[in-house]
A and B are shown apart, each in its own frame.
Chain A
């Protein structure tokens, strides 16, 4: 981590030096030659140039490795500066300062894209939050040092133009650091992008980024961030120019103010930013900058409104606004945005970041330039700029929450995405022979696959095939598959065929047809519901299994209460699990009843938890507060960990130790199910599993996903709950006086598990000595035979 921070921090330091040694000579020469009125035109040119740079970089990304791209961009920058210097010195052409000033606002976002994308490949999402603020801090240090050094060099040694030569040295240092970083991490930085296979959309066009709400929100956030920053800049220089009429006074103010901005920025980055981001996460990282902007703009607007904008107070407030903005941009916004990009698929990150930053920032400057020209035309003063900036900052703050919400969704999509989604088997003419072999195989499972494939193929042979398979002599399982296939395709005759098949002698056929028709209106639906409900309630588990398998194949909310009831019975697990998983979307209330209200048997609880955690996709969240829902699980986990701490290596304590560890594992599953319920993210089990992934970036992503899903305040103990081997969950849960009494008698009904009582009783003579008999006596006639047997054993073993 140290080497990566050092190399990336070195790059931002070089970037800071580079832009400082560009802006000081270029802006001084431009303002000297053409005055401040040219600045809005600079902004407009920056907008056009920025879009061109972004487009060029995106095209280059498809062909170059990240390291090669960075070197190419920086070498181009150095070539432009060198050419500008030569034109300036040899031809004495002042106009060249205009493109050099345009280069300044382009260089900052492009430089941060280059550093940020390298960081995205070298740091995981949690390392990013912790270390990126300090990496960004290098820029402030470089800028401050460059500014002070530039001023000193101009006075003592060099002419203004010669500062551009120092700028070339800084650019060379940046390139050297990029090369050194790439040599150290070749897999991440020197790998060339793999060409995407041609798709109908991509053929004949450049690779496009899928436009999503997330990407649009990021782009708009970035646009407003850059726009507000530029407006702050304008307000300060407008007021400073008005306040200091003497050029020497203005230069003195410029030097002190520039130093103040960078010192505050460095202090904020070093002392606060990392801690704030670690403690409060990306949401604060995105909201701090616009939040502070809104607060300072409200104060500035009120002061400007009441006391006027001509006084020194307004100038001070304008400076405070910009200092707050620059410090939080460097310390929070850049890191939060870089972290946010991690929620995009890896192959989209660089392109999205280039689009949002390298194009968004210049575009914002262009818009600001246009706006300022409009204000000049309308003869509006700086207070109008202040009010408009306040409005933009409010929108920017609202966008911060939109981006954060989309970030959570993006993370979950990334972590919960399944590598393979089942799809309907498509059969062409050539595949029909293979399907025919499946249908002729005699194996019910092969025939079912064959029928599914045939139904999808719309083959004219299908109807005849199915009719022959529905014949009386066909094996039972095959007839059920044939019945399902008939209903899938025979739309016209469906009602009549269904009526007949509902009375079929084969329960598998009746189950298939009735399950497919339970939502039908009229007599067919009534009969279908009668048939299916009688089958699922049948005493024979095999018959009930047919009904469950059929319900799994054609899910309907109608089945849910029956499924929950069936989960209580001793029915084969496979069809039960299939049916429950297929209806996971509707199981929320039932899961809440068994896990939160504790109304339901162990078997039902286990089956529902397994179904909810196994099902992928999203669902409407059930109105349940995570902290309330997990209250009992939290207490149970804390008490289990407390009890485990009292158990030594004695063999007689082994069963209790294992039972407590098993309980913690079940708690982890229950917690995952409840989280799925509360958040509507049913695939959260994948994120929980990823907490144990070998790949550290995958672990960090899973951690971040859970943190974003449940909120930072609850994330620590929730993540402790879903990791049974993760150690104690929470120090806030009140400890019990006697952990053994708690396990045996369960006075608070926390455990509700006879097996834990058995193990606690078995451990009692070892742990409690003579007190064991007293603990065991109430249970000698317990209805649970294992409890009663163990209690009697304790009494038999006790001294007379």
Chain B
């Protein structure tokens, strides 16, 4: 049993400290100190999806991202399919630059995810330089490795 599963199984509703522990595993936030992420963790919604549920659909206009905490999702675009697991972020483009979704994301298993709205994310980026740096670093990494992880 992984630490992640242990945390998620133990509590139907996660403590702030547990949410932070999960957020820290996300590349986007891995450089951000926990105490800074604690403020962000308070604005997260925990959402559960069952196998086959659609987390987001291509073309939809939405302003949130999902952090996959547990389970696997499939990202489908016209040119490729990618399976992502715990610690992945999907829909981050919508909170950085609101445009229609560029891919469809479907739950392959039961999925526990955090939903983070654009407003909370933007406030965090504007007021917490550590989060801004994490976002910049992750986007640069994706620019360097454009075919590894599709952005949604």
B148 within 8 A of A: no
Known: A573-B128, A755-B35. A786 touches B7 (CB 8 A): no
Known: A573-B132, A651-B6, A785-B42. A762 touches B35 (CB 8 A): no
Q: How far is the CA of A380 from the CA of B4 in the complex (A)?
A: 91
A755 close to B34 (CB less than 8 A)? yes
B127 close to A570 (CB less than 8 A)? yes
Which residue of B is nearest A607, CB measured? B129
A337 within 8 A of B: no
Q: How far is the CA of A570 from the CA of B15 in the complex (A)?
A: 25
- Among residues 20 to 55 in chain B, which have CB atoms less than 8 Å away from a CB atom of chain A? 20-21, 24, 33-35, 38, 42
Known: A790-B15, A793-B15. A655 touches B129 (CB 8 A): no
Known: A662-B34, A662-B35, A753-B35. A759 touches B17 (CB 8 A): yes
Instruction: Give the interface centre of A570, A572, A655, A762 by most chain B CB atoms within 10 Å.
Output: A655
- Among residues 685 to 705 in chain A, which have CB atoms less than 8 Å away from a CB atom of chain B? none
Residue of A658, A665, A785, A789 touching B24 (CB-CB under 8 A):
A658
B110 within 8 A of A: no
A655 close to B3 (CB less than 8 A)? no
Q: How far is the CA of A572 from the CA of B129 in the complex (A)?
A: 9
Instruction: Give the interface centre of A577, A662, A753 by most chain B CB atoms within 10 Å.
Output: A662
A654 within 8 A of B: yes
Chain A binding surface, main DSSP class:
helix
From residue B151, how far is it (CB to closest CB) to chain A in Å?
A: 24
B126 close to A573 (CB less than 8 A)? yes
Which residue of A is nearest B19, CB measured? A786
From residue B3, how far is it (CB to closest CB) to chain A in Å?
A: 3
Question: Across the interface, which residues of A come within 8 angstroms of B127, CB to CB?
Answer: 570-573
Which residue of B is nearest A656, CB measured? B17
B16 within 8 A of A: yes
Residue of B11, B21, B126 touching A572 (CB-CB under 8 A):
B126
Question: Across the interface, which residues of A come within 8 angstroms of B20, CB to CB?
Answer: 655
A655 close to B126 (CB less than 8 A)? no
Chain B binding surface, main DSSP class:
helix
**Chain B residues bordering chain A, tally (CB within 8 A):** 21
Question: Across the interface, which residues of B come within 8 angstroms of A574, CB to CB?
Answer: 126
From residue B41, how far is it (CB to closest CB) to chain A in Å?
A: 8
Question: Across the interface, which residues of A come within 8 angstroms of B16, CB to CB?
Answer: 758, 785-786, 789-790
Which residue of A is nearest B126, CB measured? A572
A577 close to B129 (CB less than 8 A)? yes
- Among residues 546 to 585 in chain A, which have CB atoms less than 8 Å away from a CB atom of chain B? 570-574, 577
B17 close to A655 (CB less than 8 A)? yes
**Chain A residues bordering chain B, tally (CB within 8 A):** 25
A786 close to B38 (CB less than 8 A)? yes
- Kindly supply a per-residue 1/0 record for chain B positions 113-152, scoring 1 wherever the CB is within 8 Å of any chain A CB and 0 otherwise: 0000000000100111100100000000000000000000
Q: How far is the CA of A610 from the CA of B128 in the complex (A)?
A: 12
Residue of B21, B38, B123, B132 touching A654 (CB-CB under 8 A):
B21
From residue A390, how far is it (CB to closest CB) to chain B in Å?
A: 60
- Kindly supply a per-residue 1/0 record for chain A positions 635-665, scoring 1 wherever the CB is within 8 Å of any chain B CB and 0 otherwise: 0000000000000000100110011001001
- Kindly supply a per-residue 1/0 record for chain A positions 597-614, scoring 1 wherever the CB is within 8 Å of any chain B CB and 0 otherwise: 000000000000010000
A762 close to B15 (CB less than 8 A)? yes
Question: Across the interface, which residues of A come within 8 angstroms of B15, CB to CB?
Answer: 762, 786, 789-790, 793
A759 close to B7 (CB less than 8 A)? no
A-B contact count (CB 8 A): 56
- Among residues 775 to 791 in chain A, which have CB atoms less than 8 Å away from a CB atom of chain B? 785-786, 789-790
Known: A785-B16, A790-B16, A793-B15. A662 touches B129 (CB 8 A): no
Question: Across the interface, which residues of B come within 8 angstroms of A755, CB to CB?
Answer: 34-35, 38
Question: Across the interface, which residues of A come within 8 angstroms of B6, CB to CB?
Answer: 651
A786 close to B17 (CB less than 8 A)? yes
Residue of A571, A573, A610, A762 touching B17 (CB-CB under 8 A):
A762
Q: How far is the CA of A759 from the CA of B132 in the complex (A)?
A: 24
Residue of A573, A659, A789, A793 touching B129 (CB-CB under 8 A):
A573
From residue A782, how far is it (CB to closest CB) to chain B in Å?
A: 12
B33 close to A655 (CB less than 8 A)? no
- Kindly supply a per-residue 1/0 record for chain A positions 49-61, scoring 1 wherever the CB is within 8 Å of any chain B CB and 0 otherwise: 0000000000000
Which residue of A is nearest B128, CB measured? A573
Which residue of B is nearest A651, CB measured? B3
Q: How far is the CA of A665 from the CA of B32 in the complex (A)?
A: 12
Q: How far is the CA of A762 from the CA of B7 in the complex (A)?
A: 12
Question: Across the interface, which residues of A come within 8 angstroms of B21, CB to CB?
Answer: 654-655
From residue B6, how far is it (CB to closest CB) to chain A in Å?
A: 6
- Among residues 4 to 26 in chain A, which have CB atoms less than 8 Å away from a CB atom of chain B? none
From residue B45, how far is it (CB to closest CB) to chain A in Å?
A: 16
Q: How far is the CA of A789 from the CA of B15 in the complex (A)?
A: 7
- Kindly supply a per-residue 1/0 record for chain A positions 751-773, scoring 1 wherever the CB is within 8 Å of any chain B CB and 0 otherwise: 00101001100100000000000
Which residue of B is nearest A755, CB measured? B35
A758 close to B17 (CB less than 8 A)? yes
Q: How far is the CA of A570 from the CA of B33 in the complex (A)?
A: 18
From residue A626, how far is it (CB to closest CB) to chain B in Å?
A: 26
From residue B38, how far is it (CB to closest CB) to chain A in Å?
A: 6
Q: How far is the CA of A570 from the CA of B16 in the complex (A)?
A: 22
Q: How far is the CA of A789 from the CA of B7 in the complex (A)?
A: 16
Question: Across the interface, which residues of B come within 8 angstroms of A758, CB to CB?
Answer: 16-17, 38
A651 close to B7 (CB less than 8 A)? yes
A790 close to B129 (CB less than 8 A)? no
Question: Across the interface, which residues of A come within 8 angstroms of B38, CB to CB?
Answer: 755, 758, 786
Q: How far is the CA of A793 from the CA of B17 in the complex (A)?
A: 11
Which residue of A is nearest B21, CB measured? A655
Q: How far is the CA of A557 from the CA of B20 in the complex (A)?
A: 40
Question: Across the interface, which residues of A come within 8 angstroms of B128, CB to CB?
Answer: 573
- The 7 lowest CB-CB distance pairs between A and B, nearest first, are A651-B3, A755-B35, A662-B33, A786-B16, A572-B126, A762-B17, A573-B129
Residues of B within 8 A of A (CB): 3, 6-7, 11, 15-17, 20-21, 24, 33-35, 38, 42, 123, 126-129, 132
A-B contacts, 6 listed (Cβ < 8 Å): A655-B20, A753-B35, A762-B17, A786-B17, A790-B16, A793-B15
